[in-house]
Amino acid sequence: MFNGLVLSDVHFGASDSFKLYNELSEYVFGKIDSLESLSIIVIAGDYFDHLLSLNETATLYATKFLGELIDYCKNLNIRLRIVYGTESHECNQYQLYERWFISSGIDYKIIKTVSDEYIDNIHILYIPEEHIFNKREYYNEYINNDCNYDYIFGHGVINELMPASVFINRKSSSDGKRAKVPTFSSGELSKITSGDVFFGHYHINCTYNDNVHYMGSFTRWCFGEEPDKGFYYFEKSDNSYYREFIINDLAPSYVTVKYSYDDISNKTNDEIISDINKSSKKLDDINNDTHIRYIFNIPDGLEDVDGKILSIRESLKDNKNIKFDFKNGHIDKMKTISKDYLTPENIHKYSMLFDKTLSIEDRASQFIKSKYDQDISPEVIKWHISCTDVLTDEKGVIDDNENVE
């Protein structure tokens, strides 16, 4: 039997590294301990989130987990394969551990270019994220009708599962003169694989054509990633392929709750705050590391919008795991009106407002003439401004000695 574990997008440095280390130890090492033997462990890219400093907590725990993983591989004779991910995340940081890998004596590879290998008659293809000039020429040896793999492990874009990324990638690098990150279709990978295709890069666990998988990130650190987090166990016995997604139940929860126009219009502030407290407690009872985002859709024309927003924020400001997002219909409407008004013609017409060589009264005079076709001299405007200054000064609002800009 050939079996293994594959995980991706660990991203040390993106979240609480101590907690991430504990999650990895609990589930990855826990799974290894439950097995009689293990043939291979694959990390399919983005073990790091960014270029880490030596004194960062993330560096400590990224090193600690990798060291313990190497010990497992050494003691249990497990192969380790690391498929290089996105350069802006990896930053060539594996080289820091090269002496450690070598001295351990384990069977390991850090794979930065497309390659294949046979392990106990199991044919495996590795596709790290690379910048290339011609996809067809570059991958022709590895992706063609004569190829047949048991498994493919990679990092990058699969068309059907990341349509937005595909569009951006193709549009930005269509001239053929610059090296670019290629995209793959599920079909071209599926048809040359008898077993499964496991890819990293996209943080949502999903499957296409039954055997093409994005594993998703190992844990959760932002909103919009509600599906289960974890990694895969896989095995081949005779001609039978098996896989199982191991859920990371310790991953923090990020939940979004939406309040509609009707909810906001028909409920008092106290009722809304009471609802929030109840739902927050309910979610916290399920997972004590729950982050909640409340989205309030506030309709245009609602009375005392600012007061309502301020009241909600102030009442719940001490809960650091609660985030608010206010969608104000009135503000959105005014933004649209303002945007529509800023035409090239209007910008040119009222250019005097941005002319710093003119005094305030000159700008005001020219604007009034242009906007309302009324002649008011700068002197008159200056007189009105001075009157306002006198009145506010008498009320103690402005001190002549203050440096107001």
Please give the C-alpha separations between residue 228 and each of 44, 59, 153, 246, 383, in angstroms, as whole numbers: 18, 26, 20, 9, 68
Query: Average pLDDT for residues 305-327, to the nearest whole number?
Result: 73
Measured CA to CA, the distance from residue 5 to residue 81 in angstroms comes to: 10
What pLDDT shows up at residue 391? 43
* Distances from the Cα of 390 to the Cα of 26, 361, 362, 370, 394, angstroms: 71, 17, 21, 29, 6
Which homologous superfamily is 2-247 in?
Metallo-dependent phosphatases (3.60.21.10)
Residues 233-259: tens digit of each pLDDT: 999 998 899 999 999 999 998 888 877
pLDDT band at 165 (very low <50, low <70, confident <90, very high): very low
pTM value surpassing 0.85: no
pLDDT, position 384:
75
Q: Span 156-168, mean pLDDT?
A: 69
pLDDT at 401: 37
The mean-pLDDT minimum among 81-90, 123-132, 192-201, 321-330 falls in 321-330
**Least confidently predicted of 11-15, 286-290, 392-396:** 392-396
Q: What percent of the chain has pLDDT over 70?
A: 80
pLDDT at 51 over 70: yes
**Mean pLDDT of the residues in the chain:** 84
Least confident of 107-111, 274-278, 330-334: 330-334
Task: Please give the helix or strand (H or E) that residue 370 lies within, else none.
Answer: helix 360-372
Quick one: which of 225, 165, 210, 157 has its CA closest to 185? 157
Please check the confidence at residue 17 and state whether its pLDDT lies above 60.
Answer: yes
Please answer whether residues 128 and 155 qualify as being in contact, where contact means their C-beta atoms are separated by less than 8 angstroms: yes
Residue 166 has pLDDT above 70, yes or no: no
- How would you class 113 by CB atoms within 10 Å of its CB: exposed for 0-12, middle for 13-18, buried for 19 or more? exposed
Region 320-327: mean pLDDT is 74
Domain ranges of the chain: 2-247, 253-335, 342-394
Q: State the pLDDT at residue 55.
A: 93
Instruction: Give me the pLDDT at residue 172, please.
Output: 43
| Exposure letters 139-170 (e unless 16+ CB within 10 A, then b) | beebbeeebebbbbbbbbbbbebbeebbeebe
* Confidence (pLDDT) at 324: 75
Give 148 or 285, the one with higher predicted confidence.
Answer: 148
- Is the model's pLDDT at 395 over the cut of 60? no
- Tokens representing 383 are 């007189």
Whether the per-residue pLDDT at 332 is higher than 70: the answer is no
